Amino acid sequence: MENISIALPKGRMADSAITLFEKAGIAENILKDISRKLVVNDHKNLMKFMLVKPMDVPTYVEHGAADLGISGKDILLEQKKDCYEVLDLKFGFCKMVVAGPKEAKDSFLTNKRVATKFPNIAEEFFRQKGENVEIIKLNGSVELAPIVGLSEVIVDIVETGNTLRENGLIVIEEIFPSSARLIVNKASLKTKSQRIKEIIVKLKEVVETFKEVKND
């Protein structure tokens, strides 16, 4: 049998993902290793895990550098990469929102300025509303933008809303809910179909039992 490689997003989501894989019985003892290394092999289960920047996961999977990947729906919608999105893994819940200061300041600008890490999502959202905006791409600390007058509003991902509140911002509009997804390279699904199918089925079982436990 051949190795299956999985791209995990660096950060909190990686831990949840690894827990999920271990619960599903597809991998063992990788949690402690992965914090130190970029690539961890589970020789027993023939799995290879690699840790990459969350924004890069879909790229690795699209090109087949990884067979599978775990990525937030927000990133998938932003990048529109060509891969299968097979499962909603029901963790890493958050929301893509438009947020701004509690009291909108008067502005003489016709085009609202929108600061965001997700320029494509923001553009698409405002275009569908028929609103002309100016998108300002940032790479982090987006909440700062309205405070220092770089933009009127932001489009960003929100989990608890604490960061927004602390910076005196409120949610103006919700764009879509997001959660972690299992994505698969299109060629891998067909050339390694037996193994990948197995993994999907096992993960699906675990996700569903989790869900039931939570609902009880």
Partner 1 sequence: MIYLPDGVQDFLPEEYKFKRKIEEKFREVFIKFGYQEIMPPTFEYSDNFSVLFDENNLYRFFDKKGNILALRPDVTTQIARIVSTKLKGSFPLKLCYVANVYRYDDPQVGKMREFTQAGIELIGTNYEESDAEVIAVAIEALKSIGIEDFKVDVGQVEFFKGVVEDLELQNEEINLLREFLQQKNQSGMEKFINDKGIRGKKAKFLNELPLLFGGEEVLKRAKELYDTPKLGETIDYLERVYRILKDFGMEEYISFDLGMVQNLNYYTGIIFRCFVKGIGYAICTGGRYDGLLGIFGEHIPATGFAISVERSMLALQKEKKDIIDKSWRVLIKYKENLRNNAYKKATLLRDEGKIVEMYSYEKAKHVDENSFDEIIDMGE
Q: What residue ranges bind partner 1 (CB under 8 A)? A: 61-65, 82, 84-88, 181, 184-194, 197, 200, 204
Instruction: Kindly tell me which of 84 and 210 has the beta carbon lying closer to partner 1.
Output: 84
**In whole angstroms, how close is the CB of 39 to partner 1 at the nearest point?**
17
DSSP character for 141?
Answer: -
The string over 112-137, giving b where at least 16 C-beta atoms fall within 10 Å of a residue's C-beta and e elsewhere, is bbbbbbbbebbeebbeeeeeebebbe
Contact 89/21 with Cβ under 8 angstroms?
Answer: no
Task: Please state, in angstroms and rounded to a whole number, the distance separating the CA atoms of residues 33 and 131.
Answer: 48
Please count the CA atoms within 13 angstroms of the CA of 114 that sit on its side-chain side: 25
**In whole angstroms, how close is the CB of 74 to partner 1 at the nearest point?**
16
Instruction: Kindly tell me which of 120 and 167 has the beta carbon lying closer to partner 1.
Output: 120
**In whole angstroms, how close is the CB of 90 to partner 1 at the nearest point?**
8
Contact 70/13 with Cβ under 8 angstroms?
Answer: yes
Instruction: Kindly tell me which of 57 and 153 has the beta carbon lying closer to partner 1.
Output: 57
Q: Give the H/E segment covering residue 103.
A: none
**In whole angstroms, how close is the CB of 194 to partner 1 at the nearest point?**
7
Instruction: Kindly tell me which of 33 and 174 has the beta carbon lying closer to partner 1.
Output: 174
